[in-house]
């Protein structure tokens, strides 16, 4: 092999090794931060004011986009499923399909993705700005632990508020599906809701609440990790914000697959 090719190959291997090491190091750092955040969340002292403020920012202020997303998703779902079910003369099953799809999959995933875009990015930007303006250093110098002060309240807010938002999104989505069923598909209101009620079983609720809690944890911890790892001034804040949305969204979708697989094993569909 010519020496120039050998040198290029060695350089490529060297760069790949460095990238893999950096990736492993990032995963290790993320896990350490997430575990410290959970530990701080579970122990005293807790900053009640900051927890309430994060719950407001993550939950209450995300309400409008979650309601809109849920409503339109439920409506589209009803239209699309009716088109498919009509081929089998199964239009009356629209309610069942909308309900199961919303509660098991679309409600949790779409809510988490919307909140990641709105709040996860905000967390990364806020903490990133605090890093570049040395406010995180100032916190440590003044005797505070940034993980307890900043990360724990955000993770707690994610764990509590994303499931609540998901329940709202599911409800609004099913309601939207009902509107389409009545006004466009000519099904009766009572029939639609009976169909919804028959479709829902306890396993759906377990799946519909376990997933959003996990997604809430992921979006908050990824937002905090990206924010606290900001380097390179204001440009770095922008990059951290983008990374938090991309990584958070991919992790939510990937974990959705694995959680679904796991939950279906635990609670098989009859």
Partner 1 sequence: MGEASCGPIVSFRDVTLSFERPILRGVSFDLAPGTTKIVLGGSGSGKTTILRLILGLLRPDSGSVSVEGTDVARSGEEELREVRLKIGMVFQEGALFDSLTVGENVAYRLSEDGKLEPEEIEDRVREMLGFVGLRAFYDRMPSELSGGQRRRVAVARALLARPRIMLYDEPTTGLDPVTSTTITDLIVKVRDLDGVSSIMVTHQLRDAFNIARTFIRREGSAFVPRAIEGLENLEGTEFLMLREGRVQFEGTAHELVTSDLPYIRQFLS
Where does this chain bind partner 1 (CB under 8 A)?
Answer: 129-130, 133-135, 137-145
How many whole angstroms separate alpha carbon 59 and alpha carbon 49? 15
Closest distance of CB 137 from partner 1, Å? 6
**Based on CB atoms, which residue is closest to partner 1, 56 or 86?**
56
Closest distance of CB 129 from partner 1, Å? 8
Nearest CA to 58 among 140, 156, 152? 156
**Based on CB atoms, which residue is closest to partner 1, 6 or 21?**
21
User: What token pair was written down for 165?
Assistant: 């938002």
**Based on CB atoms, which residue is closest to partner 1, 6 or 140?**
140
**Based on CB atoms, which residue is closest to partner 1, 134 or 188?**
134
Q: Which residues contact 50 (CB under 8 A, 6 or more apart)?
A: 149, 150, 153
How many whole angstroms separate alpha carbon 56 and alpha carbon 48? 12
- Angle at which helix 202-228 crosses helix 152-183, to 10 degrees, equals 130
Closest distance of CB 143 from partner 1, Å? 5
**Based on CB atoms, which residue is closest to partner 1, 28 or 53?**
53
**Based on CB atoms, which residue is closest to partner 1, 83 or 138?**
138
Strand, coil or helix: 144: coil
Total H helices, total E strands in the chain: 12, 0
Contact 92, 192 (CB under 8 A): no
Q: Which residues contact 13 (CB under 8 A, 6 or more apart)?
A: none
Neighbours of 231 (CB within 10 A): 12
Closest distance of CB 142 from partner 1, Å? 5
C-alpha pair distances (Å), 207 with each of 104, 165, 166, 212, 245: 6, 15, 12, 9, 24
Q: In this structure, what DSSP letter does residue 1 have?
A: -
**Based on CB atoms, which residue is closest to partner 1, 74 or 146?**
146
Closest distance of CB 149 from partner 1, Å? 9
Closest distance of CB 134 from partner 1, Å? 4
Closest distance of CB 153 from partner 1, Å? 13
């Amino acid at each position: 092999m010519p020496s120039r090719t050998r040198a290029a190959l060695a350089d490529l291997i060297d760069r790949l090794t460095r990238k893999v090491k950096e990736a492993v190091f990032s995963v290790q750092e993320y896990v350490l931060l997430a575990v410290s955040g959970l530990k701080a969340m579970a122990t005293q002292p807790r900053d009640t004011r900051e927890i309430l403020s994060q719950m407001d920012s993550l939950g209450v202020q995300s309400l409008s986009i979650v309601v809109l997303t849920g409503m339109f998703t439920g409506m589209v779902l009803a239209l699309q499923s009716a088109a498919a079910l009509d081929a089998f003369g199964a239009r009356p099953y629209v309610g069942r399909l909308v309900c199961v799809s919303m509660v098991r999959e679309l409600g949790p995933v779409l809510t988490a993705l919307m909140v990641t875009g709105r709040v996860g990015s905000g967390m990364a930007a806020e903490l990133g700005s605090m890093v570049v303006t040395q406010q995180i250093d100032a916190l440590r110098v003044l005797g505070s632990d940034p993980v307890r002060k900043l990360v724990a309240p955000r993770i707690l807010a994610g764990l509590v508020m994303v499931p609540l938002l998901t329940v709202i999104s599911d409800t609004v989505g099913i309601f939207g599906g009902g509107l389409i069923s009545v006004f466009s598909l000519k099904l009766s209101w009572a029939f639609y809701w009976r169909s919804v009620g028959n479709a829902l079983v306890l396993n759906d609720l377990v799946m519909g609440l376990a997933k959003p809690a996990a997604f809430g944890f992921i979006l908050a911890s990824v937002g905090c990790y990206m924010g606290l790892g900001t380097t390179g001034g204001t440009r770095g804040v922008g990059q951290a914000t983008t990374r938090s949305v991309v990584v958070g969204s991919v992790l939510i979708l990937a974990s959705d697959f694995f959680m679904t697989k796991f939950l279906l094993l635990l609670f098989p569909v009859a």
